[in-house]
Amino acid sequence: MPMTWSTLIGIRTRLGTKQARRTSVHLVLLIALSAGVAGCMDSDPPKWWKEPNGNSITDSEGLTAATTDQLCTAEEKTPPNDSLRLHFIDVGQGDAIWVQSPTGENVLIDAGDGGYYGRNNGGKIVSAFLSAHGFAQGAVFDAVAVTHAHSDHYGGLPTIFAHYGVAKFIDPGLETDGLSYGDTLETAHAMVRPDSYFRPAINDPGGLTTLKGGSVDLFGPAVGAWLLSAENNMRLGDDNNAKVNNTSLVFKLAYKGRSILLMGDAHAELENELIQRFVTNTSEPNLDANLIKVGHHGSTTSSTGRFLDAIFRNTPAVDRYAVIQSGRTSFGGTQLPEASTIFVLQDAVGQSHLFSTEAGDDKKAEEDAASDDDILAVVKSDGTFYVCYE
């Protein structure tokens, strides 16, 4: 009998245990290798998370009924102003995170791609989202941060710069010959005061912080914030793409006993360094987290079991969440997010606590795949914490 993804789903459903889920990762690899020889396997992997409409994508046959417990209620969509709010904006392929602090600060971390070569214009998408949520054009961001020099993170910034003010700008400081990124940096430099242009963010006497793990005053006095990593040289990784990803700004935010890790596009090499540097710390900064915005769009380069075990080791299973920011994207035949990474994340947080801006996008054209899976994470002043699709 030909082995298909539907068959694998049946195997995984019957096994059902945590160990079985780990076993299924190995099955994926074995089946994929077999497919290369026999040519008898469906080419597209399934998606394992729920769409915001409450359905779960399982295989090429379509959708199956599921609960809608990942959707925000009307009340959840409008949390009190003294809450910490993170909006993971669906820009298609790329990252864009709008952080609203309990004391009124607004910080933008990345802004999606620039709208070229068939990609979505992240700047237009972010601007429309901001306007719909009361942050009108002409308003001023307390800070804008670019995690690293890849266009699916900085490409939308020219549009943001054209319509909003920026008080502070933060960047890892990697020297790059890319003209579009150079233009972005020049615009940012012209917009902010010299003492508010933090490039590089670390190891610069005038920088945002002079040590990895240093606290940062970007998100207001009520939010604990640490810059766990930022590199201005390409020293980690096997190729140029990986080395640029590993220069990513990595932030930790904490409020009312809840913690959030924002990983940029960090790969396993950087994850391992973070473990060595912070995991044994009994006080902040450490790696303890309730939510992780996973590195590199759900690729197998990131979100290792070792790293997830480290960040969630002191977090009860019911309080663990993961967010993937990705589009319906294939790089060199590899679909993002990748099925094996989904398995690993599900082991760590459970299916209902795994969220993706890519949910269901394999059934949509690129231009229709953005703006439909925005994700909201909220920490209220009493410590209540929830994540839902807006």
Task: Compute, in degrees rounded to 10, the torsion defined by CA atoms 338, 341, 342, 346.
Answer: 180
3-state SS assignment for residue 315: coil
Q: What is the Cα–Cα distance from 53 to 71, expressed in whole angstroms?
A: 8
Please give the Cα distance from 143 to 110 (Å, whole number).
11
pLDDT band at 179 (very low <50, low <70, confident <90, very high): confident
Beta sheet of 143-145, edge-to-edge order: 197-198, 169-170, 143-145, 106-109, 97-100, 84-88, 375-379, 385-389
Mean pLDDT over 211-216 rounds to 88
- Percent of the chain scored above 90 by pLDDT? 60
Tell me if 121 sits within 8 A of 113, measured CB to CB. yes
Assign 319 to helix, strand or coil: helix
Q: Are 153 and 110 in contact (CB under 8 A)?
A: yes
Task: Please indicate, yes or no, if residue 335 is contained in any of the structural domains.
Answer: yes
- Residue 276 belongs to domain spanning: 68-389
Is the residue at 52 inside a domain? no
**What pLDDT, on a 0 to 100 scale, did the predictor assign at position 233?**
86
At residue 245 the predicted structure's pLDDT band, cuts being 50, 70 and 90, is very high
Written as six digits, the tokens of 55 are 């359905």
Asked if residue 9 belongs to a domain, the reply is: no
Q: Are the C-beta atoms of 389 and 52 separated by less than 8 Å?
A: yes
Question: Which single residue is written with the structure tokens 């935010």?
Answer: 253
Please check whether residue 32 lies inside any domain of the structure.
no
Sign of the Cα torsion 154, 158, 164, 169 reads positive
Determine the pLDDT at residue 183.
92
Q: What is the pTM of this model?
A: 0.83
C-beta neighbour count of 166 within 10 angstroms:
20
pLDDT the model gives residue 240: 86
Residues 20-41: pLDDT tens digits?
444 444 444 444 434 443 333 3
Compare 35 and 187 and report the one with higher pLDDT: 187
List the alpha helices (DSSP H) in the chain. Answer: 5-15, 18-38, 74-77, 122-132, 151-154, 157-163, 179-191, 240-245, 268-278, 305-311, 339-349
pLDDT tens track for 107-134: 999 999 998 877 889 999 999 999 999 9
Q: What are phi and psi of 222, to 5 degrees?
A: -85, -20
Ramachandran area for residue 296 (φ above 0: left; ψ -120 to 50: alpha; else beta): left
Q: Does any domain span residue 16?
A: no
Tell me the average pLDDT across 1-10: 36
Are β-strands 250-255 and 258-262 bridged in parallel, bridged antiparallel, or unpaired?
antiparallel
Q: Is 59 within a domain?
A: no
Tokens representing 259?
Answer: 């913690």
Supply the mean pLDDT for the chain. 82
Domain count, the chain: 1
How far, in Å, CA of 168 to CA of 166, rounded?
6
pLDDT over threshold 50, residue 227? yes
Q: For 190, how many CA atoms within 13 A lie in the half-sphere containing its CB? A: 9
Give the separation between CA 68 and CA 66, rounded to whole angstroms.
7
Amino acid 335: pLDDT: 67
Asked if residue 211 belongs to a domain, the reply is yes
For residues 188 and 170, what is the distance between their CA atoms, to the nearest angstrom?
9
Local confidence band at 343 (pLDDT 50, 70, 90 cut-offs): very high
Q: Give the pLDDT band of residue 5 (cuts 50, 70, 90).
A: very low
Q: pLDDT for 138-175, tens place per residue? A: 999 999 999 999 999 999 999 999 999 999 999 999 88
Q: Is residue 1 part of a domain?
A: no
| pLDDT (average), residues 299-304 | 90
Helix (H) or strand (E) run with residue 184 in it: helix 179-191
CATH of the domain at 250: 3.60.15.10
Q: Mean pLDDT throughout 272-298?
A: 93
Residues of the chain with pLDDT > 70, as a percent, come to 78
pLDDT digits (tens, 9 = 90+) for 48-105: 444 444 444 443 222 222 247 899 999 999 999 999 999 999 998 899 999 999 999 9
